[in-house]
Structure 1
């Protein structure tokens, strides 16, 4: 007697739910959905109720799914590391083992699609060992605009569009080499500096679609540094008259001496100097330090700055959030206004080294909570309480970014 075919449609809902929980990739879920009507309904029901936290990704491709606390590994090519992310895409940097040349690619964690970035290769393919990419951010789709900030004066701010070309800020030109975070909003990039100046960078393009910048305008002015810090105050006072600039209009005193430029690509050039980290040391407590970090996030056409103070431990790899403040940019008055009663509308903020985002609260994502993946903690905007973010503490590495599964982005 021939064995009867399995009754896939008779599987219990609990068992189907366990199977779905182990199918993070879009292609696998599509195959699951195609089995039968019951499985399709089970997947729809599961997605309607669940909203897990975004995945936390390390530079070696390992990632943690906080919902179950499991650590997975994305097989990356040799000498390849993750350097940033946007929604469900990550940016990869591969270094040739012989020539040490860098090549850059956008990779979708869920569909496995890949988009090479030869425009970046031509600009930051050959860089010194001290070179670091601070942030890679896509405006929308991977064939649209990609913005990059680095720690090298010569390439502090880059715009590229795959297949169209790239634009590079003039070395040492304000505000580009002072940018610590930025966000897209319509046809602008808004950027903040350590002094909490907010700049609007008007995006443009030539007839061939190559990205360009038409002008830069200061939106908010910095407040004076405490304790009569003459170095920082004098530095910023020297730029207060330049509220709107085009790239070709940058004054010499904001750029530097042309004699410092080395056409032979010698890395001793002043334009290849290493910029300071995107943090501000407030004070020290024994061997530990208190540092201030600032993050810029777009929310419903508004710009929010998250300022947080962290305890940087000298003997453990993890930092801890000590204080969090949230501000909204008042575009008309040119000031930062404190946000004291949450975001409103049932949303949460996710902050990581490589990417920050705001999503609707549902399931494990709690309303008016700021999640910090790099410090393993979360801040409740309503109560002001900071709590540990449990599963992420299993990760040892300091650099982390967030990847958002498709169900988190709807």
Structure 2
């Protein structure tokens, strides 16, 4: 994954070649995180739709290529009915007529704030931001809230971690809500995880996530966040206090390579 709006995904096979999507091409432009699992490449969108990419290699030079993709939406009947109602309403009223100038200003302020935090003039598509208590007029002292999605492959299973991070104007950022869901790769429907992570531990950062078997001081069925130093116990659904405040866009976990004998 990259932070380039034109080319959000790049496939590289060292010494063989590079694959790039067409600029702003769907569905690649909508994908916010990816993971390899079982020889396949999966992606997730902000709508929490799962995408799988078919990858092939050139017979002559071995360069990678995406030959197709599959997308699923986890939408129930109530969502379909609600969407139909919205479509009927949109036929009578244009969307931009419903958004007040004040709401647009708040969205612009939130966008500018998170752009400054990423430090590269590019807003990560994997983050949705808003101001706490958007129902009241904007004030500089209001907290910024970011919703971030992560994909994690673990023991042949595919998980999504959805996190709500609150960034006070003054003070340390902290996680206020975490949801962990597992996807059924047959139906591609998400289901909340209630029985733990099978003894595994998730290390989460925007740039890199990894699942490892718990050992030593590493607690099982626990999620570690790189930017705040928080831990989330999946079984008890409790969060530890934040230990540090690192830019979530620049922090990542680094693991030593596995020893192969």
TM-score by length of 2: 0.73
Find the counterpart in structure 2 of residue 42 from structure 1: none
Find the counterpart in structure 2 of residue 152 from structure 1: 5
CA contact (8 A) 1:370 1:378 kept: yes
Find the counterpart in structure 1 of residue 118 from structure 2: none
Structure 1 regions of 5+ residues with no counterpart?
1-147, 235-272
2:219 is equivalent to residue 371 of structure 1: no
2:169 is equivalent to residue 314 of structure 1: yes
The one of 167, 178, 190 equivalent to 1:324 is 178
2:142 is equivalent to residue 278 of structure 1: no
Q: Structure 1, residues 252-297: CA drift from partner, whole Å, max 9, x if none?
A: xxxxxxxxxxxxxxxxxxxxx9665421235514510222111000
- Once the two structures are TM-superposed, the CA of residue 376 in structure 1 deviates from its matched residue by 2.1
CA contact (8 A) 1:199 1:220 kept: no
The one of 187, 193, 196 equivalent to 1:333 is 187
C-alpha distance in 2, partners of 1:304/1:350? 13
The one of 118, 123, 143 equivalent to 1:288 is 143
2:65 is equivalent to residue 212 of structure 1: yes
C-alpha distance in 2, partners of 1:305/1:386? 18
CA contact (8 A) 1:151 1:275 kept: no
Indicate how the Cα distance of structure 1 residues 158 and 221 shifts in structure 2: closer, same or farther if over 3 A, else same. same
Structure 2 regions of 5+ residues with no counterpart?
91-120, 134-140
CA contact (8 A) 1:220 1:336 kept: no
Moved over 3 A (4+): 219-225, 227-231, 273-277, 395-398, 406-409
2:258 is equivalent to residue 404 of structure 1: no
- Once the two structures are TM-superposed, the CA of residue 366 in structure 1 deviates from its matched residue by 0.2
Indicate how the Cα distance of structure 1 residues 275 and 168 shifts in structure 2: closer, same or farther if over 3 A, else same. farther
Find the counterpart in structure 1 of residue 212 from structure 2: 359
C-alpha distance in 1, partners of 2:184/2:177? 23
2:203 is equivalent to residue 350 of structure 1: yes
C-alpha distance in 1, partners of 2:251/2:180? 22
C-alpha distance in 1, partners of 2:214/2:22? 41
C-alpha distance in 1, partners of 2:246/2:153? 30
CA contact (8 A) 1:281 1:290 kept: yes
CA contact (8 A) 2:74 2:190 kept: no
CA contact (8 A) 1:347 1:367 kept: yes
Q: Which has the higher contact order (CA 8 A, sep 6+)?
A: 1
Find the counterpart in structure 2 of residue 188 from structure 1: 40
C-alpha distance in 2, partners of 1:314/1:215? 44
CA contact (8 A) 1:219 1:334 kept: yes
> Root-mean-square deviation (CA), in Å?
3.0
C-alpha distance in 2, partners of 1:276/1:363? 35
- Once the two structures are TM-superposed, the CA of residue 364 in structure 1 deviates from its matched residue by 1.3
2:229 is equivalent to residue 381 of structure 1: no
Q: How does 1:111-150 map to 2 (within 5 A)?
A: 148-150=1-3
Find the counterpart in structure 2 of residue 176 from structure 1: 28
Q: Structure 1, residues 298-336: CA drift from partner, whole Å, max 9, x if none?
A: 0111110001111122234x4211111111111222310
2:155 is equivalent to residue 300 of structure 1: yes
CA contact (8 A) 2:150 2:206 kept: no
How many equivalent residue pairs?
216
